Chains A and B, each alone.
Chain A
């Protein structure tokens, strides 16, 4: 059971990462294109829309298509629209009619939810991994400086850690975005800058305990400099728990990014993230439940997979 869960988690993370990286080449619809404001908003998942292809190759969507002698009539919104057969691709209805599938339906603007979900994975994972990476880097730097230097620098850095840790993370992130403005880059920087504390404490603790080991004492006695000591002898040993912390941090970061986006402080529209898709779906919750529901499920699945993976790795490191 546990192993199966772990394998499932690894598979899910792999598929997600692949899909996120390859999104532009998967032949999906443009996630930001409002395909047809009259006919396409709020299509339920697995709907096949109706459309005819015009001579210029573009699709004309319709709720109903009626054929008469030399023309077809398309029901678009409240009105019927007439198109001559000459205007259709292949000049006949049979060759021109299309039933494009919307796997996960469309949102209130007639955008393809599946394409937005996949492109949203791109943004959410990018933010998650970059911010977690930044948190690890910052944490390692602060933790190493603190653990090696000791004395007043250690005291100052650790008090700083306590202080940042005391502010609820979402509030701190909100305040930072409110002060520094809103963009993809600030989102990543803000999330990284608010989540380095655990890594810093971890690295400091590791260094304090490793410092007393014989091999480190020997290296010190041999006159190895402090930076070299950290780089070659201390940090490699602290590496594995740090990576585990990073994986767990990615999940948390994705959750906070979603909350920021939901509050309108994340990545600006129209670019999709799972968080702002839920925020947009909120207005259409009663008419089109899938818009808000699906990105939420994606978040839950991703975070569960990351946590399962991280905890399994941690248990392997510290068999209790």
Chain B
């Protein structure tokens, strides 16, 4: 297991370095230079421009700048200054990270629970109308833009039937509430955006578990169990589900990019003060250093998440770690 863990980490590190390199190349090839950004529309003599370039080390050759940039980003965590939030990018990120982790984590929990539950249930109703409804709805949910679903959810559940708040992370009276009250207030604000963010992944999970259950139910070991007189319920929820659920860990890993990309638009719709919202504000104010930093962080999220999913898979299924270990 430890050997497997080390091998996976050794793959993830160069991957992140590659992403950082890619971002640097994109920056280098983009039209306009950082000096233009500093100066804006002001016209200055070329000497001033040169002085600025020297002061920031922009006159050095590209490889040297690359090495310095990489060192600053990876070792010192130095990501520059956000002019839209008037503070270091690092601090803006640190403030925006917890709300996003909370939102994405809840969405993850939501889609795993509902995806497995509904997928298995619809497999149990195979051939009946319930199965068709689930199939159709999950097909539709998978094709919905998350931000549109968010708007529709606000329209339905915040205005037509006002049961959930339409925006923000806390009510205006949150400060007057006790600890428990504040927690309930947070959960109340969390439900709608988390459900919207998790919807597409829940749909994918439902389809996946549904197909897996149908495969499992066709296996001989199910017939054997049925022959032994195991009840139909136990057959479904214990024997078949156990077989169908293992590959789910993989799907959770694959869903992470969708979740992270989705948080970008869902946070904008629900005015959730996280990384997506931060990125959006940065886009509007052309705060490129922030867009850069959130992109790197979002990628780190996904890579770490996939690492965790791989490890969980190896822990749950010894065939994985032995096969890969044997090859290495």
- Chain A positions within 8 Å of B, measured between CB atoms, are 1, 159-160, 162-164, 166-172, 174-176, 178-181, 251, 255, 258-259, 262-265, 275, 278, 281-282, 285-286, 289, 292-293, 295-296, 299-300, 303-304, 307-308
Check if A285 sits within 8 Å of B154, measured CB to CB: yes
For B269-296 the 0/1 string (1 means CB < 8 A from A) is: 1000000000110011010100110110
A292: chain B residues at CB < 8 Å are 148, 151
Check if A307 sits within 8 Å of B15, measured CB to CB: no
A167: chain B residues at CB < 8 Å are 19, 22, 295, 298-299, 302
Check if A264 sits within 8 Å of B283, measured CB to CB: yes
Check if A162 sits within 8 Å of B27, measured CB to CB: no
A251: chain B residues at CB < 8 Å are 143
A159: chain B residues at CB < 8 Å are 14, 18
Main secondary structure of the interface of A (DSSP, over half): helix
Which chain B residues (284-328) contact chain A, with CB distance < 8 Å?
284, 286, 288, 291-292, 294-295, 298-299, 302-303
Chain A proximity of B125: nearest CB distance (Å): 15
Residue B142 at the A interface, CB < 8 A?
yes
- Chain B positions within 8 Å of A, measured between CB atoms, are 14-16, 18-19, 21-23, 26-27, 30-31, 132, 139-140, 142-149, 151-152, 154-155, 159, 257, 260-262, 264-265, 268-269, 279-280, 283-284, 286, 288, 291-292, 294-295, 298-299, 302-303
Closest B residue, CB atoms, query A179: B30
Q: Given A162-B15, A176-B26, A179-B288, is A296 in contact with B295 using a C-beta cutoff of 8 Å? A: no
A180-B288 Cα distance, complex, nearest whole Å: 11
Complex partner residue of B261 from A171, A304, A307, CB under 8 angstroms: A171
25 CB-based A-B contacts, threshold 8 Å: A160-B18, A162-B15, A166-B18, A166-B299, A166-B303, A167-B298, A168-B260, A168-B261, A172-B295, A175-B23, A175-B292, A175-B295, A179-B27, A255-B143, A258-B145, A262-B147, A262-B265, A278-B151, A282-B269, A286-B155, A293-B152, A299-B145, A303-B143, A307-B139, A308-B139
Closest B residue, CB atoms, query A160: B18
B132: chain A residues at CB < 8 Å are 1
Check if A304 sits within 8 Å of B22, measured CB to CB: no
B288: chain A residues at CB < 8 Å are 178-179
B279: chain A residues at CB < 8 Å are 171, 174
A293-B147 Cα distance, complex, nearest whole Å: 11
Chain B proximity of A46: nearest CB distance (Å): 19
A255-B152 Cα distance, complex, nearest whole Å: 16
